Amino acid sequence: MTVDLDELVAAAQTGDRAAFDGLVRATHADVYTLALRLTGDEEDARDVTQEAYLRAYKGLHRFRGDAQFSTWMYRITANCASTLLTSRRRRRHDELPDDMPIADTHPDIDPVAMAEAGLLRSRVSDALQELPPRLRAVVVLRDVYDMPHEAIAEELGITEAAAKVRLHRARRKLRERLFPLGREEAAHAV
């Protein structure tokens, strides 16, 4: 059965709790997926998802329908995850620097063959989890969820320039992680 999110949003905005529950049921898996990609931890992802829906519930009257409800939820989720990760980073003393190389646990596997076999996606997923959270957030929001730089910067509380720099670093790290051959060797692999 297809759920009309627009109708549910309209009803929920009039105070219909059952309609809001319907929105939760229809979208929670997508929101949780983003939360898990951003936090890299199931328990954190659950907390972020709950907090995101709570904020959405309280702020639903501000949702104007300019974007899709799911897009609006993604932005709230990104903001909640950023808040969680920022508070956690402040408590951590052993944070890895952004420039720390990511160890490749499968350097012997030919990435081209894997891509052809459709396995690259799962390696990308693993590699994302090994990125520092601040880089992971930007690349997930930009390259997986197509969020504009401006929105990413706003939800993560950073400048647009910083978002672009982080995106570049994240992509470079992922590429180096997934295609560990040296540039000379890589040239011959094309």
Partner 1 sequence: MRCDDVALVLPRIADGTEVADIAVRDHVEHCLRCQAEMVQYRKLLKALHQLRTEVLEPAPGLVSDILATIEAAGERGAIRSLLAGKRAAYVGGIAAATVAGATAGALVLASRARQRRLRVAG
Answer for which of 8, 9, 20, 79 binds partner 1 (CB under 8 A) is 20
Q: Does 3 bind partner 1 (CB under 8 A)?
A: no
Give start and end residues of each alpha helix (H) in 92-159: 111-116, 120-130, 133-139, 149-156
Compute the distance between CA of residue 62 and CA of residue 115 in angstroms, rounded to an integer: 43
Q: Does 144 bind partner 1 (CB under 8 A)?
A: yes
Q: Does 189 bind partner 1 (CB under 8 A)?
A: yes
In the complex, what is the shortest distance from the CB of residue 146 to partner 1, in angstroms, rounded to a whole number?
8
Q: Does 7 bind partner 1 (CB under 8 A)?
A: no
Binding residues for partner 1, rule CB under 8 A, total 47
Compute the distance between CA of residue 119 and CA of residue 141 in angstroms, rounded to an integer: 22
Q: Does 106 bind partner 1 (CB under 8 A)?
A: no
In this structure, are residues 136 and 40 in contact, taking their beta carbons and an 8 Å threshold? yes
Answer for which of 125, 126, 150, 161 binds partner 1 (CB under 8 A) is 125
Binding mask 33-62 for partner 1 (x = CB under 8 A): x--xx----x--xx--xx--xx--xx----
- Judged by the rule CB under 8 A, the positions of this chain that interact with partner 1 are 17, 20-21, 24-25, 28-30, 32-33, 36-37, 42, 45-46, 49-50, 53-54, 57-58, 111, 115, 120-121, 124-125, 128, 139, 143-146, 168, 171-172, 174-175, 178-179, 183-184, 186-190
